[in-house]
Structure 1
């Protein structure tokens, strides 16, 4: 079986983890700070806060902005459920903005129309979470412009977009978002096993994020109420969580980070090769934005021309091609249907779901394996 995605671990990664296991630090130690600095410097951001996974990152990003009951978070229906669940964790209401039929990202025109209606109704979102689907940025400049007009915060879910760029700047630089989220799950661009990270240029948010990931506790005497009792002393200032990354994970992540450009170059070469090999088939191929360079976490095609989506998908699986489907529209999940959402609410995301197939895409995928994928896809379509 050729999987749709997988990690690539080499001896340097293994040696980095072993060195940490033999050190004095396994949990919150120097490897985390080194990993955070490396990513912040690359992304040209002031701060990076590493956590145990990207879902935790989304959660405390919302908490750092004081999202709470009675307030609203908007995101896209074409995402993993975590992009919406982070709002629910805070007791907030969640709503969605339909996708652009070309980019499959949050549609800025739909967002503008929905904001105009929400302003008239007096029910504007506090936070909007655009998702860089498959590794390509949304129209972040337009979303930032709308955020200034309507007064909402932007948390960019760039879980797919580690190493991507937008308008000549690294994703995560903070030009268009209050915070940006990265994921280091094994199928992402680099991995820490499980892991996530938040980038921000705001000192106050960085300070609070670091506290929220560790039980809401501080050891900084300047932040304490009253005097410190001594060098052992700490105070819990608010309700936080144990969302810490370990030094073991950070050591793996830092080692992987050294090969980021190699991983990206291979993914981009594979995407370009797919573009050529699939050009004559009845498929909608991924749209390439002129002002953005994707990290190519996913390579998604949409079956067209009356093809039976399920039959094509099943034929590929039967041929040993581990295709997948990203994503089931969040509003169609039973939990969100119980909140009042229904089929037909976001028709473009639903049309996308009825046609989309994620083809194998990972840095270790060989040209010969990619040829097998394409041959199996041709056969499935012909059948």
Structure 2
């Protein structure tokens, strides 16, 4: 089988995890702090807080930024459901902004129009979660302008874009969002198994995320509300969660991080090779903005119509090529439609969904496998007419 994406685990990764498993610490030990420091150095942020998933990171970011019942969060409908669910975990409401038909990220034009309308109605969002899609960054210069104009909190959902760049700066150090959330799921750029990280330049935000990831508990004497009673003493100062990363996951992440530039370079090489191999075929290749450099988490193509997509999907799966669709628009999920969203609310996102197909792209994909993908894709398109 050729998967659409997969982890690359090498002997040094196994050795790093084994070393932790043979040590005195396997849960909350020194490997976590080392991994946090390595990630923040790599992406250029001041602080990093490792968590057990990007979903946890998004939830904690919302909590740390004060999101609560009666408040509003906006995000893109073309994303994984976690980008919206993080608001609902806090009791806040969710709305969406349609996508840019070229980048598939949130449309700045649609966002600008929607913000102006919301201001007139007194219903501005409290937080916007801007999602870098498939590894390609959003238009962060324009988001900075809108944030300054309207004053909303801004979370950078960089689950797809670790190692990507925008205007020459690496994601995590763009200086626009209040915080950036990475994913280290096995299909992402690097992996810790399950895992994620919240990076920020705001010390108070980092402190809040760090405490909330561990039950809202602090052991820091300077932060105690009552007199320290001894070395055993701790205080729960807020309702937090067990969102902690393990030490062996962090060890795997640190080992992966040492190779991440190689992983990304290979993804970019294979994406460029797809661009050549697919030239002249009846598919729309992913457009890349000159403002940024993608880390190519995905290589999504657009086919002629939904019927063609269905045929191509079935054919490729039948010959062992595990293509995927990213994503079903979040507002069309039954759980969201029950709250009032309906088909037609975000037409560009819906039109994209009808035609999109993610073909295999990962750091271990070979030329021969890629040639097979393209050959079978061509065969499926010919059959579909």
Give the structure-2-normalised TM-score: 0.98
> Is the 1:179–1:199 Cα contact (8 Å) retained in structure 2?
yes
Report SS of the residue matched to 1:283: coil
Residue aligning to 1:54: 54
Task: Output aligned runs, 1:366-377, within 5 Å.
Answer: 366-377=366-377
Question: 1-side partners of 2:2 and 2:270: how far apart?
Answer: 15
Task: Output aligned runs, 1:202-221, within 5 Å.
Answer: 202-221=202-221
Bigger CA drift: 294-303 or 226-235? 226-235
What is the number of residues matched between the two proteins? 383
Residue aligning to 2:16: 16
Residue aligning to 1:358: 358
Residue aligning to 2:192: 192
Question: 2-side partners of 1:346 and 1:284: how far apart?
Answer: 21
Question: 2-side partners of 1:194 and 1:368: how far apart?
Answer: 30
Report SS of the residue matched to 2:105: coil
Question: 1-side partners of 2:94 and 2:254: how far apart?
Answer: 35
RMSD: 0.9
Residue aligning to 1:379: 379
Report SS of the residue matched to 1:284: coil
Residue aligning to 1:78: 78
Task: Output aligned runs, 1:163-178, within 5 Å.
Answer: 163-178=163-178
Task: Output aligned runs, 1:83-122, within 5 Å.
Answer: 83-122=83-122
> Is the 2:70–2:93 Cα contact (8 Å) retained in structure 1?
yes
Question: 2-side partners of 1:174 and 1:28: how far apart?
Answer: 30
Residue aligning to 2:263: 263
* Alpha-carbon distance, 1:182 to partner: 0.3
* Alpha-carbon distance, 1:307 to partner: 6.3
Question: 2-side partners of 1:67 and 1:310: how far apart?
Answer: 40
Residue aligning to 1:135: 135
Q: Which runs of 5+ in 1 are unaligned?
A: none
Question: 2-side partners of 1:251 and 1:312: how far apart?
Answer: 40
* Alpha-carbon distance, 1:42 to partner: 1.1
* Alpha-carbon distance, 1:374 to partner: 0.2
Report SS of the residue matched to 2:48: strand
* Alpha-carbon distance, 1:141 to partner: 1.2
Residue aligning to 1:311: 311
> Is the 2:305–2:355 Cα contact (8 Å) retained in structure 1?
no
Residue aligning to 2:302: 302
Bigger CA drift: 77-86 or 317-326? 317-326
Question: 2-side partners of 1:62 and 1:374: how far apart?
Answer: 42
* Alpha-carbon distance, 1:312 to partner: 1.6
Give the structure-1-normalised TM-score: 0.99
Residue aligning to 2:144: 144
Question: 1-side partners of 2:321 and 2:52: how far apart?
Answer: 31
Report SS of the residue matched to 1:324: coil
> Is the 1:69–1:92 Cα contact (8 Å) retained in structure 2?
yes
> Is the 1:215–1:242 Cα contact (8 Å) retained in structure 2?
yes
Question: 2-side partners of 1:306 and 1:137: how far apart?
Answer: 27
Report SS of the residue matched to 1:117: helix
* Alpha-carbon distance, 1:304 to partner: 2.3
Q: Does 1:234 align with 2:246?
A: no
